[in-house]
Amino acid sequence: MDASPPAPHHGAMENLAPEEYRPRRIHLNTASHGLLSRSAADAIRAAVERREYGDGADVFPAVAAARAAFARLAGVPVGRVAAGNSVATYAGLVAASVPEGAEVLTAEGDFASVVNPFHVRGGIEVRTVPLDRLAEEVRPGTALVAVSSVQSADGRIADLPAIRAAARAHGARTFVDVSQAAGWLPLDAAEDDFTAAVGFKWLGAAHGVGFLVVPEDLGGLRPLLGGWLSAADPWTSTYGPVREPAPDARRFDTAQPLFSYEGAAEAMGIVERLGVATVHAHDLALAGRFTTGLRALGHAPLPAPGSAIVSVPGLGGRQADLARAGIEVSDRAGNLRASFHLYNSAADVDALLAALG
């Protein structure tokens, strides 16, 4: 058996933004957290310095810029995007809107932040089925289908068109977490009722940046977590109850870690400038190179067609050794999980294959 990695590609599959990303280690772990770009890190450092020296600065324009950048990537008007801090927070908000006694349909093994808020809500039925049966399992009485568009554990991509069609046929809404998709996979958030994402993975922002896309009619959500920032005019709503919520998705804004939002728009701007289609092709080429090399070494990755995430059964225990060798991957349920993004190269893939060989 030929266990050598694929031949190098000269001039192809290189870091797409070397002026922004200068990793000291081989980072094949974007599914856990992405790298901060130079421009994003500079923006955060500048904001910290302003605070350190007491220089007056309005911190909220960074939130507005990040909201607008995500709206463009998601393909929705900015008025449909709420800015917060996590998927779990927004899953909880959506869970609170599900009618008493109704059913929420989820996928087996989906990420906890997506499904747990529905399990702890009480008064509703949560039914869990295999991912590939999600669409066919929608039935009368299903009020909501909640699913990650790309599975964290193994990179499988949900059949969202089929899920949406089934949900509409039964009058159900959809809640989709695109945290493992936004930044490399083209989004069509306008097709779902609710779309949530964190920014610290494929979008390249810092931890603490999160978004929720809501429908034009706001989807029956109540601003249960809203404070003064959720008001139509926040600066006249700092005391007492909010009398007039914002007329759009901003009424669902939650606490925003403002230092994290500094640089978020700059990070997403890199994806915008390159184009999601370019990033998508690059990431899949690297994943394909890794998959080919794995098979040459006698390993069988889990099936995840068209994904930038590759998981390999039985190799999760190699994660610590790989980290010591300067290669960052994840151990997920005994599987080695590698994820490939715009700052990775064919040389990174080949280094991982060589270490595994």
Q: In 131-228, at which residue ranges do the beta strands (DSSP E only) sit?
A: 142-148, 173-177, 194-198, 210-213
Helix axes 60-74, 264-274, angle to 10 degrees: 30
**Above 60 in pLDDT, residue 11?**
no
The overall average pLDDT reported for the chain is 95
Q: Check whether residue 255 and residue 293 sit in a common domain.
A: no
How much is the average pLDDT of 111-118? 98
Q: Report the C-alpha gap between 17 and 107 in whole angstroms.
A: 35
pLDDT digits (tens, 9 = 90+) for 143-163: 999 999 999 999 999 999 999
pLDDT digits (tens, 9 = 90+) for 300-329: 999 999 999 999 999 999 999 999 999 999
Strands 173-177 and 330-332: unpaired
Query: Which residues are 321's β-sheet partners?
Result: none
Q: Check whether residue 152 and residue 176 sit in a common domain.
A: yes
Q: Check whether residue 199 and residue 345 sit in a common domain.
A: no
How much is the average pLDDT of 214-221? 97
Burial of 134 (0-12, 13-18, 19+ CB in 10 A): buried
- Is 148:113 a contact under the CB 8 Å cutoff? no
| Beta-carbon contacts of residue 190 (< 8 Å; ≥ 6 apart) | 74, 75, 76
How much is the average pLDDT of 234-242? 95
How much is the average pLDDT of 198-205? 98
The DSSP 8-state label assigned to residue 177 in this structure reads E
Res 4: pLDDT:
41
Q: Check whether residue 265 and residue 280 sit in a common domain.
A: no
**Above 90 in pLDDT, residue 116?**
yes
pLDDT digits (tens, 9 = 90+) for 257-272: 999 999 999 999 999 9
Res 8: pLDDT:
40
CA distances from 270 to 73, 157, 323 (A): 11, 24, 27
Structural domain count, the chain: 2
Res 345: pLDDT:
98
Q: Report the C-alpha gap between 174 and 144 in whole angstroms.
A: 5
Q: Check whether residue 283 and residue 264 sit in a common domain.
A: no
Q: Check whether residue 243 and residue 96 sit in a common domain.
A: yes
Res 285: pLDDT:
98
CA torsion angle 283 287 289 293 (round to 10): 160
Domain, as residue range, for 318: 26-37+275-356
pLDDT digits (tens, 9 = 90+) for 45-91: 999 999 899 886 677 999 999 999 999 999 999 999 999 999 999 99
Res 163: pLDDT:
99
**Above 70 in pLDDT, residue 3?**
no
pLDDT digits (tens, 9 = 90+) for 167-191: 999 999 999 999 999 999 999 999 9
Residue whose token pair is 């058996």: 1
Q: Check whether residue 128 and residue 234 sit in a common domain.
A: yes
Band of residue 12 on the pLDDT scale cut at 50, 70, 90 = low
231 found inside a domain: yes
Q: Report the C-alpha gap between 195 and 197 in whole angstroms.
A: 7
How much is the average pLDDT of 104-122? 98
Q: Check whether residue 222 and residue 175 sit in a common domain.
A: yes
